[in-house]
Amino acid sequence: MFKFHDLRDRISKIAGICGMVISITVAFYLIFPLGQTQSKFAMLLVSFGIAIALSFITFKALLKSQR
C-alpha cells in the first residue's frame, strides 16, 4: 500500500502533466493558422499530440535531473 505522501506526489505529478498538456494544446491551437484544407478538429488533434509529447519530454528530463 502507498504511503499518503507518495499518493499525494503521484496525484500532483498527474495534475501537473494534465495542466501542462491543456495549456500547451490551447497555445498551439491559437498559434497555428487554420487553412482552408485543415479542419478545426484536425488542428486540435495535432496540437494535443504536440502537447503530450512536449509534456512527457519535460517531465522525463525533470525526473532525470532530480536523480
The model's pLDDT over 26-35, given as tens digits with 9 standing for 90+, comes to 888 888 776 6
Q: How much is the pLDDT for 4? A: 60
**Considering only CA atoms, which of 7, 51, 15, 32 is closest in space to residue 40?**
32
**Considering only CA atoms, which of 26, 1, 25, 10 is closest in space to residue 59?**
10
* pLDDT of 47 strictly over 80: yes
Please tell me the pTM assigned to this model: 0.66
* pLDDT of 1 strictly over 80: no
* pLDDT of 57 strictly over 80: yes
